[in-house]
Chains A and B, each alone.
Chain A
Amino acid sequence: EVQLVDSGGGLVQPGRSLKLSCTASGFTFGDYAMSWVRQAPGKGLEWVAFIRIKSYGETTEYDASVKGRFTISRDDSKSIAYLQMNGLKTEDTAIYYCTRARWPRVGQGWYFDYWGQGTLVIVSS
């Protein structure tokens, strides 16, 4: 059974940093791209970051709203994906979901076939 367990959320002041983790099980982690999707309170879904597999250089993509502040990474030996969030803003307040991403074709986008339970990040002074 595929499982994604998100952790690391919490209350943080604007401008500070936080690192989220996603521990995967039930599949060969290194064979799949991974991504983070967030949902602000009472709002819709917003893609945040994406990382390809090793054979594609573990290259990354970011939404414009977080580019330069957030960094996605992965450790295939531990089956963990990370999201390092620096320079946090109040508008980053959201539930952050780790997702397994399916990337059908190079040059196109991806969809999300499994989701973690989410971890809440609150950015407030």
Chain B
Amino acid sequence: EIVLTQSPGTLSLSPGERATLSCRASQSVSSNYLAWYQQKPGQTPRLLIYGASSRATGIPDRFSGSGSGTDFTLTIGSLEPEDFAVYYCQQYGTSPGTFGQGTKVDFK
């Protein structure tokens, strides 16, 4: 099973700042099949990125994904108030796929 480790656990930032979230896999993720999800408090998770860098339908372009192999990054270009949430990565290159433990982005 591929283990995904997200860092940092919590990222404290202010609106307008750039957020960089890391997701590291214990072995290479096949075909760079990595997704990112956002979950706001009390809400359902939402798909942001799939295939490491493709934005899902309706996702603003301030969200971008990058990386390959074992190291992946989600970047939020300029934080909006509604972006403060928990972010999860998920690899699906190897069935059945596994989630990271999450990174919380909160207000500094």
Contact = CB atoms under 8 A, between A and B. Distances in A.
Given A63-B96, A109-B33, A44 B47 contact: no
Nearest to B2: A109
Interface residues of B, number: 27
A47 interface: yes
A27 B66 CA distance: 30
Interface in A69-125: 97, 102, 104-105, 107-118
Contact residues of B: prevailing secondary structure? loop
Nearest to A116: B44
Interface in B42-66: 44-47, 50-51, 56-57
Interface residues of A, number: 24
Contacts of A105: 31
A45 interface: yes
Contacts of B95: 61, 107-110
A58 interface: no
Contacts of B45: 37, 45, 97, 112, 115
B88 A108 contact: no
Contacts of A110: 92, 95-97
Contact of A111 (B30, B44, B47, B102): B47
Contacts of B94: 108-109
Contact of A109 (B56, B96, B102): B96
